[in-house]
């Protein structure tokens, strides 16, 4: 039985990794929306309030080069949002970014800007999938370089999101990140002012 469960785990892992590899190269968000019964993603709903994330970063050969945790807070007024991100990397580096996001009236596309974003990010969302493309000014090998990012996100449930971030320089893949997001739910007891009745 243990051998069977071990084999099943290996097969499941292999299928998951091959699925990620397949969807990484796609450019159309229509190709990313493959879970028909999954909850529908909306950047205004998921990135609202407090979110925690953790990730690993790999180079072009798949070697893990770093990891990080992040805390985020999103605030929205109609279709305009502000998302504050604070990163702490395994190597001790800290970073932050504030996204200013503007969602279209139909809710299917959005744009976003940040202090280190060279050109406005272009995003689309459909079904349980969301994609965002943008170039960042990144300090790499001691020099500021333009790196193009392709972020693909998949909503698992109302509180859970998983994503990949593919990095390219001059059209060549130089690395990727695999990221898990979780919405923080306030665990404080409700109706604390209400005393129990005797």
Is 59 domain-assigned?
A: yes
Is 111 domain-assigned?
A: yes
Distance CA 169, CA 181 (A): 26
Query: For residue 187, what pLDDT band results from cuts at 50, 70 and 90?
Result: very low
Is 190 domain-assigned?
A: no
CB 48 within 8 A of CB 75: yes
Is 126 domain-assigned?
A: yes
Largest CA distance in the chain: 72
pLDDT at 141: 74
Q: How many domains does the chain divide into? A: 1
Query: For residue 32, what pLDDT band results from cuts at 50, 70 and 90?
Result: low
Is 41 domain-assigned?
A: yes
12 or 74, which is more confident: 74
- Mean pLDDT over the full length of the chain: 82
Distance CA 136, CA 177 (A): 15
| Range of lowest pLDDT (20-34, 140-154, 163-177) | 20-34
pLDDT at 15: 32
CATH number of the domain within which 178 lies: 2.40.128.20
Give percent above pLDDT 70 in the chain.
75
pLDDT tens-place string over residues 40-97: 999 999 999 999 999 999 999 999 999 999 999 999 999 999 999 999 999 889 999 9
H or E element at residue 100 = strand 94-103
Residue 131's domain comprises: 29-183
């Amino acid at each position: 039985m243990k051998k069977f469960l071990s084999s099943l785990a290996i097969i499941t892992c292999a299928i998951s990794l091959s699925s990620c590899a397949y969807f990484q190269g796609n450019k159309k968000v229509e190709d990313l929306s493959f879970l028909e019964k999954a909850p529908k993603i909306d950047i205004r709903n998921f990135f609202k309030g407090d979110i925690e994330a953790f990730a690993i970063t790999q180079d072009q050969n798949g070697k893990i080069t770093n990891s990080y945790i992040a805390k985020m807070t999103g605030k929205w007024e109609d279709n305009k949002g502000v998302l504050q991100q604070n990163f702490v990397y395994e190597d001790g580096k800290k970073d932050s970014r504030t996204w200013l996001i503007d969602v279209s009236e139909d809710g299917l596309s959005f744009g976003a800007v940040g202090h280190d974003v060279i050109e406005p990010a272009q995003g689309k969302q459909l079904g349980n999938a969301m994609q965002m493309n943008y170039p960042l000014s990144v300090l790499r090998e001691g020099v500021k370089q333009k790196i193009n990012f392709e972020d693909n996100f998949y909503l698992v449930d109302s509180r859970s999101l998983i994503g990949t971030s593919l990095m390219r320089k001059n059209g060549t893949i130089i690395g990727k990140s695999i990221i898990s997001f979780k919405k923080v739910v306030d665990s404080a007891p409700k109706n604390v002012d209400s005393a129990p009745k005797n």
